[in-house]
Amino acid sequence: MSFMRKLKRLIHKGGVKLGLVQQKSLSSITDDPRIKVPAEEYDRIRKAKQYYQDKLDPVEYWTTKGKQKRPLNSLNVLKSASQALASLMFNERCSIKVNDSKLQNLLDDIFKDNNYYLDQETHLETWIALGSGAIRPYVENDKIKLSWANATEVYPLEANTTKVDQIAISRRLQKIENNNAVYYTLLEFHQWGNWTTDEQGRKYRPYIITNELYRSGDPNTIGEQVPLDYVDEYAGLSSTTTINYLEKPLFAFYRNAGANNKNLVSPLGIGLCDNWFSTVDDINMVHDGFEWEVKTGYRRVSIPRSWVRRQQNMNGHQIPEDQQYFWDPNDAVFVPVNSEDDTSSFKDLSINIRNEQYEGAMDFFLRELENDLKLSPGTFTVTPSGVQTATEVVTNNSKTYQTRSSYLTMLEKTIDQLAYAIAELLQNGDLWSDGKARWNGDLDSLVITPDFNDGVFVDQEAQRSADLQAVQASVMPKIQFIMRNYDLSEEEAQKWLQQIQDEQSPTPPDQEMDMLPGGEVNNERQGQDKQGPDAAES
């Protein structure tokens, strides 16, 4: 940290102590009056985050040592289901097209530089699990970067609406200062100002971005507002930026499909399993119970005391002479064995593992979760059904396909917002070092077309047959058939079509005579042709 920054810190602290500087303080982000979403919504999201991160309460049980705790051996079905749905919705084979060639080239470069097509699938998984998310494009060093946020970092400034065009996005840093952990929270507010009219009579709303930094020694509170240059990461950040003549917000917001039944006035989406955590708990209970039964189900026997050397004490406690322990003290059962010194006291104490009962219970709850999440039977369960045709796969996955289509509708809106936000940045010359806009197209005429790869949901053979009939009926161009069924670009498909036409064009008879069986040219005939018909007779 530079000397000037340290001096500014001291001046700020002195001003606060003397009452010359009014310092804003927040216990939680929702305490800010600009944020209209109820705080209870983020309690719900934090619960979903714990399930997603598999940070669940430990299991309590009793042993000969007393009350014990152990980690829950769970199946993270929220992670698995969100990951499966995200990979079905979006992957690296997807693409985003616009009806402007210059903007298309710019978008392709931006997405490639930011690794967008891979990162989108990863962040989409978290969005689906928690219910909401956002992308924030910004200009840095004359390049457009993408900043991602999940539901715990997104705070809409309006309630009772599904349209979010004003938002606050939080970022948190942890620093070590004087051997103590200190937490900094950056709040970035995106707001529209009041309508105004410029000198040319144009009406517009200024777009205002406000940055506020808070500092706290407690990880559970936001703390007190401090200058942005308190940390190096935000030293060059402007506290307020106003951009005029924008038509679209500079962020893209995502929410899951379906109504938020937990809070009817919240613009945030409902998490994938928010309504089904009881089913998730049942699945975890069955899995943990089976794992514990396997662990404690190893073979045990009781034997006469004369067969072993007697243990005098256990855990610092004297053992009575008429008692002997034959069970592991970590077991959830206390069994002192008082046996006579004869061979009849030998007993097999092994426990039969109830694998069939546990397997049946697990299948039941997994099928229940499939039904809850509107996923096709067999998504989580394994049902042997032999070799399936492509048509059968499509039919069996129809329920998952319908659910995927609903979620894709919401993702498509997010992608539209992202493309518009990037276009707005490219049009604003003030954001670039040379003051020149990178694109000057018309936003109103812009058409954004995301191409989601249907994968297993499309019967490729059936599609190819139908398209072939369309080509034969002259209702589909051949080049479109090649692009659609062989996943080629228009340029590659054009080359294919040209090669096909060249191969199918008939070879002139004279050229056939000029070719020897091995493919070599008949030089003697070529010489005769050069000398003319009279030379051939001579």
* Cβ-based neighbours of 261, under 8 Å, separated by 6 or more: 270, 275
Question: What is the pLDDT at residue 465?
Answer: 79
Domains in the chain, number: 3
Q: Tell me which of 330, 349, 368 is where a domain ends.
A: 349
Asked whether residue 285 is domain-assigned, the answer is: no
Regarding whether 207 and 155 lie in a shared domain, the answer is: yes
Shared domain for 38 and 167, answered yes or no, is yes
Alpha helices in 397-532 (DSSP H): 398-427, 460-472, 478-486, 490-504, 509-513, 523-531
Residue 433 lies in a domain: no
Torsion angles phi and psi, residue 313, rounded to 5 = -145, 165
Q: Is the pLDDT higher at 387 or at 219?
A: 219
One domain, residues 256 and 318: no
Any domain includes 201: yes
**123 and 29 part of one domain:** yes
Is the same domain home to 200 and 249? yes
Indicate whether 120 and 265 sit together in one domain.
yes
The reply to whether 142 falls in a domain is yes
CA distance 207 to 182: 32
Q: Is position 163 within any domain?
A: yes
Q: What is the pLDDT of residues 420-465, one digit of tens each?
A: 999 999 999 999 999 999 999 999 999 999 988 765 555 556 667 7
Residues 231 and 315 reside in one and the same domain: no
Q: 405 lies in a domain?
A: no
Is there a single domain that holds both residue 335 and residue 270? no
pLDDT digits (tens, 9 = 90+) for 93-137: 889 999 999 999 999 999 999 999 999 999 999 999 999 999 999
The residue from 349, 383, 414 where one domain ends is: 349
252 and 308 housed in the same domain: no
Going along 6-131, which residue ranges are E strands? 25-26, 59-63, 66-70, 95-98
Looking at the fold, whether 8 and 42 belong to one and the same domain comes out as yes
In-domain check, residue 280: no
pLDDT band, residue 235 (cuts 50/70/90): confident
517 class by beta-carbon count within 10 Å (0-12 exposed, 13-18 middle, 19+ buried): exposed
CB-CB contact of 216 with 182 (8 Å): yes
| 317 domain residue, yes or no | yes
Tell me which of 333 and 229 has the higher pLDDT. Answer: 229
Q: Do 317 and 252 reside in the same domain of the chain?
A: no
**Span 501-526, pLDDT tens digits:** 888 876 555 554 455 454 455 555 44
Instruction: Quote the domain boundaries for residue 307.
Output: 299-349
How many helices and strands, by DSSP H and E, does the chain display? 15, 22
Do 195 and 320 reside in the same domain of the chain?
A: no
User: Which of 323, 349, 375 is the endpoint of a domain?
Assistant: 349
